Amino acid sequence: MQEKKMDRDILPSVGRFAPSPTGRMHLGNIFCALLSWLSAKSKGGKWLLRIEDIDAGRSRQEYADWLMDDLAWLGLEWDGEPVYQSQRSEIYECYFERLKQQGLTYPCYCTRADLLATQAPHESDGRVVYRGTCRHLPPQAGRAAATRLIVPDEEIHFTDGHYGDHSVNLAQQVGDFIIRRKDGAWAYQLVVVIDDALMGVTEVVRGRDLLLSSPQQLYVARLFGFPSPQFVHLPLLCNVQGQRLSKRDQSLDMESLRQRSTAPQLIGLLACMAGLLPSPEAITASELLPLFSWEHVPCQDVMVKDLSC
Ligand code: GLU
Ligand code: ZN
């Protein structure tokens, strides 16, 4: 065990930011960008950018251009060329086929209404579990189907770098999950794993809304024989109503933030929310590097009352 840990410490750390270009970034997105950048760069590592544009209906190049402009404005430079998921379909196809050939998948014909009628909310976290309705159906030629991955009835353990130990039984708490949508689009849970592995990502920093996706992703990684990245989840930024910040909170999107503040002011505000500064003084991302430590970052969600901290 000891040896393994040392290996991990010696290996260069590779972090990443993986936004979906479906709108202008907001404060919550750049909080995540800053912390994943600080985490990778404070260890002398690389920080990669992946544009998660698999949802063709919602993604736009214009938003991808804006998000790169916003990251550059903030002083968060990424290493290498950005990777676009929309250009990697052949790679995904090849991994998808492997799962199919191993008999680990099946078509699911359920409509949204079917799912609502058969799913029961999981008692502890309100999530819904797919009951395996289509698992034993004979294939129905000509009917559009999503593809689900069969999950094992066993506990998957992992230790989040910020929220500690977790154990999830995928069969009981999630159910067989979708890896390709009915319209042929790739599912996030499949491609995120393939891309993180192929890009050599060792550390995944993202909002804690994805904490419970981690066991699904660890399972997919295990099926392909990929090493598991270290997951480090972040508290969410919430508005005064206690709801997670979203694209609806327009006063906190980058368009509005860039009109009202300078990049160092905004970095200072984020640093204060992350517990890295006692008050929101202006500071650059590079100047923050020596002050960064996960120990200062809260586990509780952070409430944002306009541009104060
Ligand atoms: N595109 C995903 C999102 O923006 C990325 C999730 C992840 O970092 O794994 O929510
Ligand atoms: Zn089904």
Q: 309 alpha carbon to ligand 1 midpoint, in Å? A: 25
Question: Which residue in the block uniquely carries the two structure tokens 């270290």?
Answer: 230
What is the Cα–Cα distance from 196 to 102, expressed in whole angstroms? 22
> Which residues hold their Cβ within 5 A of ligand 2, which is an ion?
108, 110, 133-134
In three-state secondary structure terms, 37 is helix
Which region among 7-21, 83-97, 216-230 has the lowest average model confidence (pLDDT)? Answer: 7-21
Please tell me the total number of residues recorded for the chain in this structure: 309
Q: Which ligand ends up closest to the CA of 144?
A: 2
Residues 6+ apart with CB under 8 A from 37: 15, 17, 47, 76, 285
CA-atom Rg of the chain in angstroms: 20
Of 48, 25, 90, give the one whose Cα is nearest residue 229. 48
Q: Which ligand ends up closest to the CA of 111?
A: 2
What pLDDT score was predicted for residue 160? 98
What pLDDT score was predicted for residue 1? 38
Give, using CA atoms, the residue closest to atom 5 of ligand 1. Answer: 18
For the segment 54-63, what is each residue's pLDDT rounded down to a tens digit?
999 999 999 9
Q: 111 alpha carbon to ligand 2 midpoint, in Å? A: 8
Q: Is the pLDDT of residue 293 over 70?
A: yes
User: Among the atoms of ligand 1, which is closest to the Cα of residue 209?
Assistant: 10
For the segment 76-103, what is each residue's pLDDT rounded down to a tens digit?
999 999 999 999 999 999 999 999 999 9
What is the Cα–Cα distance from 200 to 45, expressed in whole angstroms? 12
For the segment 101-152, what is each residue's pLDDT rounded down to a tens digit?
999 999 999 988 888 777 665 544 557 899 999 999 988 888 999 999 999 9
Per the CB < 8 A criterion, the answer to whether 180 and 186 are in contact is yes
Q: Is the pLDDT of residue 239 over 60?
A: yes
Give, using CA atoms, the residue closest to atom 6 of ligand 1. Answer: 18
Q: Is the pLDDT of residue 290 over 70?
A: yes
Per the CB < 8 A criterion, the answer to whether 147 and 183 are in contact is no
Assign 4 a pLDDT band (cuts: 50, 70, 90): very low
Q: Which ligand ends up closest to the CA of 143?
A: 2
Within the chain, all domains assigned CATH 3.40.50.620 are found at 2-86+195-303, 90-189
Q: 301 alpha carbon to ligand 1 midpoint, in Å? A: 18
What pLDDT score was predicted for residue 75? 98
Mean pLDDT across 180-187 = 97
CA distances from 177 to 40, 46, 154, 171, 174 (A): 31, 32, 15, 10, 7
Q: 98 alpha carbon to ligand 2 midpoint, in Å? A: 21
Assign 308 a pLDDT band (cuts: 50, 70, 90): low
CATH superfamily to which 90-189 belongs: HUPs (3.40.50.620)
Give, using CA atoms, the residue closest to atom 4 of ligand 1. Answer: 19
Ligand 1 proximal residues by C-beta, below 6 Å? 18-20, 52, 192, 206, 210
Which CATH topology does 2-86+195-303 take? Rossmann fold (3.40.50)
What pLDDT score was predicted for residue 128? 82
Which region among 2-11, 186-195, 251-260, 277-286 has the lowest average model confidence (pLDDT)? Answer: 2-11
What is the Cα–Cα distance from 190 to 149, expressed in whole angstroms? 9
User: Among the atoms of ligand 1, which is closest to the Cα of residue 192?
Assistant: 9
pTM: 0.93
Q: 214 alpha carbon to ligand 2 midpoint, in Å? A: 23
Decide the pairing of beta strands 14-17 and 46-51.
parallel
DSSP string across 156-203: EEEEETTTEEEEEEHHHHT-SEEEE-TTSPBPHHHHHHHHHHHTT--E
What is the Cα–Cα distance from 288 to 137, expressed in whole angstroms? 56
Q: Is the pLDDT of residue 3 over 50?
A: no
Of 149, 144, 142, 143, give the one whose Cα is nearest residue 183. 144
Q: 137 alpha carbon to ligand 2 midpoint, in Å? A: 9
Across the chain, what does the average pLDDT equal? 92
Residue 91, burial from CB neighbour count under 10 angstroms (0-12, 13-18, 19+): middle
